Amino acid sequence: MTAIFKRGALALVLAMALLVIVPSAQSTATEAAWARLAQGGYTILLGFSRAPGGGEPLRPDIGDCESRNSLTDRGIQEARRIGMRFAARAVSINSVYAGEFCRALQTAELGFGARNVETRSYLNSIVGGADPDQIPAELIAAVEEFNGAGNLLMVTHPVLIKAISGTTPREGEAIIIAPGEKPGDKPRVINRLLLD
């Protein structure tokens, strides 16, 4: 009876230790990501915030977001929170690019201010039936050409982020990338940043 109790107590202690260690490791990784961004010179890929299901047509109408799927109330709050996180950390953002789909554009505008956002069609992901694993050459060129003192932020679809990083980002997760080893190569993943 005593041996069973001791094993149960040991299992409980180990489980509690894991609960303490895992968030601590994630917190450390996130702090390292913020420290990298404070140095500047990186590109940040961010997926759009929560949107209603059903998807949008493959050919988005620019400026017609009133009649399109937009963000849910929770998605609106998430987008604003993301912008506040960057502001609270005083991370410099030189430029904000967004895909033309309403959910990406609205995420960028709510988080970083409408007048600071520029649309880029290459962030539209799989528009026109493109291969979801194909990374647009324009995106690769933008990452290679960026050399600001701050960072470049791109708001896009998770499918495009997966093509670059190899995994679908978790909700509230940004991927920090830098140019590939050689010109034209796929961008390298430098770090991941949990924003929620």
Check residue 108 and give its pLDDT: 94
Tokens of 93: 């953002």
Do the strands 173-178 and 188-194 form a parallel or antiparallel pair, or are they unpaired? antiparallel
CA distance 101 to 90: 28
Check residue 18 and give its pLDDT: 44
Tokens of 106: 């609205």
Burial class (CB in 10 A: 0-12, 13-18, 19+), 72: middle
Interval 106-137: pLDDT, tens: 999 999 998 999 999 999 866 555 666 789 99
Distance of CA 48 to the CA centre of its chain: 8
Largest CA distance in the chain: 71
Check residue 157 and give its pLDDT: 86
Check residue 168 and give its pLDDT: 85
How would you label 80-94 residue by residue, b for 16+ Cβ within 10 Å and e otherwise? eebbebbeeeebebe
Please list the pLDDT of the chain residue by residue as tens digits (196 residues).
Answer: 455 545 555 555 444 444 444 444 456 667 988 999 999 999 999 988 877 665 555 555 566 777 665 788 888 899 999 999 999 999 999 999 999 888 889 999 999 998 999 999 999 866 555 666 789 999 999 999 999 899 999 999 888 899 999 888 888 889 999 999 999 999 999 999 988 7
Check residue 137 and give its pLDDT: 93
Check residue 170 and give its pLDDT: 84
Predicted TM-score (pTM) of the model is: 0.80
CA separation (Å) from 155 to 15, 28, 47, 53? Answer: 37, 25, 6, 19
Burial class (CB in 10 A: 0-12, 13-18, 19+), 74: exposed
